[in-house]
Amino acid sequence: MDINQTLKLKEIDQLDSAILQFSKNTLITKRICASLLVAIIAIIMRVTDDKLDFSIYVASFVTLVIFWIIDSSSYYYQRLLRIRMSKIVSELKTSEIIVGFGMPLKKDEKITWIKSINVQ
Protein backbone atom coordinates (compact mmCIF):
# COMPACT_ATOMS: atom_id res chain seq x y z
CA MET A 1 0.00 0.00 0.00
CA ASP A 2 1.46 3.36 -0.98
CA ILE A 3 1.46 6.55 1.04
CA ASN A 4 -1.54 8.05 -0.80
CA GLN A 5 -3.73 5.09 0.07
CA THR A 6 -2.56 5.24 3.67
CA LEU A 7 -3.36 8.94 3.88
CA LYS A 8 -6.79 8.38 2.36
CA LEU A 9 -7.53 5.63 4.85
CA LYS A 10 -6.47 7.94 7.68
CA GLU A 11 -8.78 10.62 6.30
CA ILE A 12 -11.65 8.12 6.22
CA ASP A 13 -10.96 7.27 9.87
CA GLN A 14 -10.97 10.95 10.80
CA LEU A 15 -14.17 11.62 8.89
CA ASP A 16 -15.81 8.61 10.54
CA SER A 17 -14.78 9.93 13.95
CA ALA A 18 -16.26 13.33 13.08
CA ILE A 19 -19.53 11.71 12.01
CA LEU A 20 -19.70 9.77 15.28
CA GLN A 21 -19.07 12.97 17.23
CA PHE A 22 -21.88 14.75 15.35
CA SER A 23 -24.14 11.81 16.17
CA LYS A 24 -23.27 11.95 19.88
CA ASN A 25 -23.83 15.70 19.90
CA THR A 26 -27.24 15.19 18.33
CA LEU A 27 -28.26 12.86 21.15
CA ILE A 28 -27.01 15.33 23.75
CA THR A 29 -28.90 18.13 21.99
CA LYS A 30 -32.11 16.11 22.13
CA ARG A 31 -31.64 15.50 25.87
CA ILE A 32 -31.07 19.21 26.44
CA CYS A 33 -34.18 20.03 24.41
CA ALA A 34 -36.33 17.68 26.47
CA SER A 35 -34.92 19.07 29.72
CA LEU A 36 -35.46 22.67 28.60
CA LEU A 37 -39.03 21.98 27.56
CA VAL A 38 -39.85 20.53 30.97
CA ALA A 39 -38.09 23.41 32.74
CA ILE A 40 -39.75 26.08 30.61
CA ILE A 41 -43.20 24.63 31.17
CA ALA A 42 -42.58 24.30 34.91
CA ILE A 43 -41.33 27.89 35.20
CA ILE A 44 -44.21 29.34 33.20
CA MET A 45 -46.75 27.30 35.18
CA ARG A 46 -45.21 28.57 38.43
CA VAL A 47 -45.23 32.19 37.27
CA THR A 48 -48.84 31.99 36.06
CA ASP A 49 -50.11 30.35 39.28
CA ASP A 50 -50.53 26.89 37.71
CA LYS A 51 -52.80 28.16 34.94
CA LEU A 52 -52.47 27.07 31.36
CA ASP A 53 -51.09 30.05 29.48
CA PHE A 54 -50.51 30.75 25.80
CA SER A 55 -46.85 31.54 26.54
CA ILE A 56 -46.26 27.83 27.27
CA TYR A 57 -47.11 27.04 23.67
CA VAL A 58 -45.02 29.88 22.27
CA ALA A 59 -41.97 29.06 24.41
CA SER A 60 -42.23 25.35 23.58
CA PHE A 61 -42.58 26.07 19.88
CA VAL A 62 -39.60 28.45 19.83
CA THR A 63 -37.48 25.94 21.76
CA LEU A 64 -38.41 23.12 19.38
CA VAL A 65 -37.68 25.23 16.30
CA ILE A 66 -34.25 26.23 17.61
CA PHE A 67 -33.32 22.65 18.38
CA TRP A 68 -34.75 21.44 15.06
CA ILE A 69 -32.45 23.89 13.26
CA ILE A 70 -29.47 22.71 15.31
CA ASP A 71 -30.32 19.07 14.63
CA SER A 72 -30.83 19.59 10.91
CA SER A 73 -27.52 21.43 10.53
CA SER A 74 -25.77 18.56 12.33
CA TYR A 75 -27.47 16.09 9.98
CA TYR A 76 -26.44 18.22 6.99
CA TYR A 77 -22.77 18.11 7.96
CA GLN A 78 -22.93 14.38 8.64
CA ARG A 79 -24.22 13.83 5.12
CA LEU A 80 -21.48 16.04 3.64
CA LEU A 81 -18.85 14.04 5.50
CA ARG A 82 -20.36 10.77 4.24
CA ILE A 83 -20.23 12.06 0.68
CA ARG A 84 -16.57 12.93 1.16
CA MET A 85 -15.94 9.45 2.55
CA SER A 86 -17.63 7.90 -0.47
CA LYS A 87 -15.45 9.93 -2.83
CA ILE A 88 -12.30 8.85 -1.02
CA VAL A 89 -13.35 5.20 -1.16
CA SER A 90 -14.04 5.46 -4.88
CA GLU A 91 -10.58 7.01 -5.37
CA LEU A 92 -8.89 4.07 -3.67
CA LYS A 93 -10.08 1.56 -6.31
CA THR A 94 -8.75 -1.53 -4.61
CA SER A 95 -11.33 -4.09 -3.59
CA GLU A 96 -9.55 -5.05 -0.36
CA ILE A 97 -9.84 -1.49 0.94
CA ILE A 98 -13.40 -0.82 -0.20
CA VAL A 99 -14.80 -3.94 1.51
CA GLY A 100 -16.57 -2.85 4.68
CA PHE A 101 -17.11 0.79 3.72
CA GLY A 102 -20.74 0.80 2.67
CA MET A 103 -21.90 4.36 3.18
CA PRO A 104 -25.69 4.62 2.90
CA LEU A 105 -25.68 7.14 0.08
CA LYS A 106 -26.79 6.99 -3.50
CA LYS A 107 -24.14 7.63 -6.11
CA ASP A 108 -23.65 11.37 -6.69
CA GLU A 109 -26.32 12.28 -4.17
CA LYS A 110 -26.80 16.02 -3.75
CA ILE A 111 -27.15 17.26 -0.20
CA THR A 112 -29.01 20.47 0.51
CA TRP A 113 -30.20 22.25 3.62
CA ILE A 114 -33.79 21.52 2.62
CA LYS A 115 -33.16 17.76 2.63
CA SER A 116 -31.57 18.08 6.05
CA ILE A 117 -34.52 19.97 7.50
CA ASN A 118 -37.13 17.50 6.26
CA VAL A 119 -38.33 15.10 8.89
CA GLN A 120 -37.14 11.66 7.90
Would you say how long the chain is, in residues?
Answer: 120
Reference 88, options 29, 6, 17, 19; nearest CA is 6
Overall pTM > 0.75: no
Alpha-carbon distances, residue 5 vs 1, 12, 16 (angstroms):
6, 10, 16
- pLDDT tens-digit profile of 66-79? 999 999 999 999 99
Over residues 19-41, mean pLDDT: 92
- Residue 54 has a pLDDT of 86
- pLDDT tens-digit profile of 42-56? 898 888 888 878 888
Alpha-carbon distances, residue 98 vs 88, 91, 102 (angstroms):
10, 10, 8
